[in-house]
């Protein structure tokens, strides 16, 4: 099941598991009753269980799975937002993640200020950002709204600017979580073209999406996750079949 890439690895995910604690009680009274009855106050939930994936330079890998299967959790582990409870994750190179709509964007700052803030977080110097600023704004099609506070942006505008910043950085690994679904059709086409271009430049990509057409177009390889367990890793068309035949 575990495919080892022939190229030099960019991402190594080794026996990774992640458990979340879920609160079962709501009120102080319930907490007190649970305590007196020695009932457990938290339940744990295993979101990921023994994931093993090695991704080589220039590979585009789709992560497929139904709602709640653990796809976003896996991306958050790769980006370093979360830490695994077991196993380890190694990445080589600069990781740029588009994981949550607007993550890393400050609502009270303008689009312009957020471009500088985000690009700096992604490791760009002020000079580099100055040089690429016009390209970032042009790709995002934000136009005159660049000096408006981003809290007034629509979710599509938000994501267009965030995506534009991410792809204009010197990235080696791009993590994309469903965010492309937020943009409108013309913007999605532009993003797909850009992702193809990045793949040709040997960038490594991890894409989470429920858009099977897009996944098949952009990725050669697919990993299927079901209830936190990896059930398939191989050619994307087969991965899609495995997903369709599986249940939530």
Ligand X SMILES: Nc1ncnc2c1ncn2[C@@H]1O[C@H](COP(=O)(O)OP(=O)(O)OP(=O)(O)O)[C@@H](O)[C@H]1O
226 binds ligand X (CB under 6 A): no
Contact between 62 and 230 under an 8 Å Cβ cutoff? The reply is no
- Closer residue to ligand X (CB): 68 or 107: 68
Positions 64 through 93 that interact with ligand X (CB under 6 A) = 65, 67-73
Instruction: Say how many residues touch ligand X, by CB under 6 A.
Output: 12
- For residue 86, the minimal CB distance to ligand X (Å) is 16
Task: Give the SS3 label for residue 147.
Answer: helix
- Closer residue to ligand X (CB): 65 or 183: 65
For residue 186, what are the contacts with CB-CB under 8 A and spacing of at least 6? none
In terms of phi and psi (left: phi > 0; alpha: psi -120 to 50; beta: otherwise), the region of 50 is left
Q: How far apart are CA 182 and CA 184, in angstroms?
A: 7
3-state helix, strand, coil in the chain (%, to 5): 40, 30, 30
Q: How far apart are CA 115 and CA 144, in angstroms?
A: 14
* Residue-level length of the chain: 248
Positions 157 through 216 that interact with ligand X (CB under 6 A) = none
Site track 29-68 with ligand X (rule: CB under 6 A), x = hit: ----------------x-x-----------------x-xx
- For residue 16, the minimal CB distance to ligand X (Å) is 13
**Which residues of the chain form contacts with ligand X (CB under 6 A)?**
20, 22, 45, 47, 65, 67-73
């Amino acid at each position: 099941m575990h495919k080892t890439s022939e190229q030099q690895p960019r991402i190594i995910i080794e026996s990774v598991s992640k458990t979340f604690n879920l609160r079962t009680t709501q009120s102080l009274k319930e907490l007190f009753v649970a305590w007196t009855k020695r009932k457990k106050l938290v339940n744990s939930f295993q979101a990921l269980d023994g994931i093993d994936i090695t991704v080589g330079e220039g590979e585009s890998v789709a992560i497929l799975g139904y709602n709640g299967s653990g796809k976003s959790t896996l991306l958050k582990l790769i980006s370093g937002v979360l830490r695994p409870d077991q196993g380890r994750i190694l990445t080589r190179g600069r990781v740029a993640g588009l994981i949550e709509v607007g993550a890393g964007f400050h609502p009270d700052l303008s689009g312009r200020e957020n471009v500088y803030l985000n690009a700096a977080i992604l490791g760009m110097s002020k000079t580099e950002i100055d040089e690429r600023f016009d390209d970032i704004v042009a790709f995002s099609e934000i136009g005159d709204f660049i000096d408006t506070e981003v809290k007034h942006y629509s979710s599509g505008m938000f994501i267009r600017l965030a995506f534009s910043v991410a792809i204009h950085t010197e990235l080696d690994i791009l993590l994309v979580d469903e965010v492309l679904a937020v943009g409108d059709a013309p913007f999605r086409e532009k993003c797909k073209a850009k992702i193809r271009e990045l793949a040709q430049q040997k960038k490594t990509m991890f894409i989470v999406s429920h858009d099977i057409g897009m996944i098949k177009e952009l990725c050669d390889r697919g990993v299927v996750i079901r209830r936190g367990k990896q059930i398939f890793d191989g050619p994307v068309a087969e991965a899609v079949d495995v997903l369709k035949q599986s249940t939530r």
